[in-house]
A and B are shown apart, each in its own frame.
Chain A
């Protein structure tokens, strides 16, 4: 245990000397701050419509119920705004008819959208069916829930990368060769190197949640997911450390590996849930899903136990394969 702590202390000392520790701790928090600044803009975004004073106050009010309306003094003002790089429709009145001004490269089915809006503008509500609106109490906008989960995943990956680069540094400066002649066994070295990487997400998670204003998250479930990711962090670090003979090849192998694993997180965000089975092989997918579900408060303990067990099982397999490779190639 003493040797493990010594290895950890040494890493901590090196990290403090080059401001690495500060950067590693501050970076995800800084990104969380940027995200929290952007979140209200994203949450409030809706259809944009530019109008001029040819539309009456009541027409503008009707449009304002379904879109963000920007009023310009003249037709030219509307045309200039529509010509801008974002998607915004123009609606003006010309010879008592509505005229829709489009740039031409708008995304989606513009024709249907415009027909809907003009029909709504011209229609009356007397023939509408009665309605009421309820919700399933998911108050966090996706940018916050997905963003915070993504940042925690980033912290996990960073933990592995820091560990991996530290190992490669030891290799480059022959510290590893020197350690091999000492009574330190390989497992102690790996555990010592892992500590920094493992504690990073533990430090980051509460701070990220706090910065993004996410309250009421189950501490137990969050920590269970983070704890299950520890072996994966060690795998990432060892993978980089094993394949990298110097920092350049370490970054190359990290890039290749992360491209594949991070792709599974992206898949979890953009794919319909019925397609998620194609991502089940990735521990990061399960970690992301666990964190996300805990944050939006839809994760049962049952789910946490199952997903964490899957993360551990896949990580053990990956670990085993890596150890076999190490043994065969004597790469550490």
Chain B
């Protein structure tokens, strides 16, 4: 135990000397500033609407909501201006309203990449807005899990689980690989195996150091954005477990590569793959099985639940189970590959 503690102290010294603690704090504070002051509390994910209409069409639309649409959208002088504006904004649609045989004619201008269902839904939305579809409230709503709504959470705070996952929890993946390759280059591991100390103690010390940094980073981000609200215990458990398996994975990758430059590419690929579920966070309807299979998918939902939803812990438990299994697997792999790497060197 005393050996592990002194190894942890050594890791802290090395990382602090190389400004890593400073960078972690700086990045966490930049993220806090971005969340609090750059991302708006109400984000608009809707497509930008560019519209134009002829005076005759406007006259025919005087009894509809068209004026509200005109005020909320971006009114342009003609169709050509709409095309130019749309070319500059990939997330936009255009609407040109004209008069045809005494009636209003709608031209929906799309980008060209939208699928049929999206285009049809846009048409339905426009017809509904212009009063051509009768509003029906004649239906029942069955909410399966009351109290799980995120509607009250400001949009800027709702993204907090993502930096915690990508920065705090997964930071070990890259950093630990760097630390290990540094040890390899300096041949300190070779020197260490000649002492009574065991290699796995050295690795555990590195993993614990990463765990500590993960907690610091997550605490700064959550503390300065959400504050003391949310379930901190659940959040820290998920961050901690993820840090453990991601650090172990980092060591496994580093063990298989000769230098940091050669380890960098596998690390970049793994990091990008692990970051892929972020798409589903912003577009929850897009969650194919291959994204759901990634541990970061359940992790980000588990973190969201821990921070914002008091009445449920189903997603937390799902993420917890997944993280526990991965922690065991990657720690075992870490020990096996490390023994192999030491033997080979």
Contacts and interface: CB of A to CB of B under 8 A. Distances in A.
Nearest to A298: B87
B265 A27 contact: yes
Interface residues of A, number: 97
Contacts of B258: 18-19
Interface in B86-134: 86-91, 94, 100, 103-113, 115-121, 123-128, 130, 132-134
B117 A66 contact: yes
A119 interface: yes
Given A115-B135, A273-B89, A133 B18 contact: no
A184 interface: no
Interface string B255-289: 00111111011101100110010011001111110
A122 B265 CA distance: 55
A19 B147 CA distance: 53
Interface stretch (A38-46, A206-214, A230-238): A38-46
Given A131-B127, A136-B110, A154-B268, 7 more contacts: A85-B301, A99-B141, A129-B132, A130-B100, A132-B107, A249-B20, A251-B260
Interface stretch (B178-186, B217-225, B332-340): B178-186
A248 to B, nearest CB: 4
B19 A165 contact: no
B48 A272 contact: yes
A105 B142 contact: no
B63 interface: no
A27 B285 contact: no
A30 B103 CA distance: 54
A24 B265 contact: yes
Contact of A248 (B30, B110, B178, B261): B178
Contacts of A27: 265-266, 268-269
A179 interface: no
A119 B133 contact: yes
A18 B262 contact: yes
A65 B127 CA distance: 15
B145 A103 contact: yes
Contacts of B175: 251
Contacts of A162: 261, 264
B329 interface: no
A47 B7 CA distance: 53
B20 to A, nearest CB: 5
A86 B287 contact: yes
Nearest 6 interchain pairs by C-beta:
A23-B265, A86-B287, A87-B284, A135-B112, A131-B106, A98-B139
Given A47-B285, A122-B136, A128-B132, A134 B110 contact: yes
Interface of A: 15, 18-20, 23-24, 26-27, 30-31, 34, 38, 41-48, 64-68, 79, 82-83, 85-88, 90, 94, 97-108, 114-116, 118-120, 122-123, 127-142, 145-146, 154, 158, 161-162, 165-166, 169, 172, 245-249, 251-253, 255-256, 259-260, 263, 272-273, 296, 298
A34 B89 CA distance: 26
B163 to A, nearest CB: 11
Contact of B144 (A97, A101, A139, A259): A101
Contact of B181 (A90, A135, A247, A249): A247
Contacts of A24: 261, 265
Contacts of B290: 38
B150 A45 contact: no
- Most chain B CB within 10 A, of A105, A106, A118, A142, is at A105
Contacts of B100: 130
Given A116-B125, A119-B134, A248-B20, A142 B91 contact: yes
B87 to A, nearest CB: 5
13 contacts: A20-B264, A41-B286, A66-B120, A86-B285, A104-B144, A108-B45, A116-B128, A136-B86, A165-B264, A247-B185, A253-B19, A256-B27, A298-B87
Contacts of B103: 129-130
Contacts of A102: 141-144
A45 B286 contact: yes
A136 B111 contact: yes
A101 B142 CA distance: 5
A18 to B, nearest CB: 4
Given A31-B269, A131-B106, A255-B27, A120 B133 contact: yes
A292 to B, nearest CB: 9
Contacts of A118: 136, 138-139
A45 B285 contact: yes
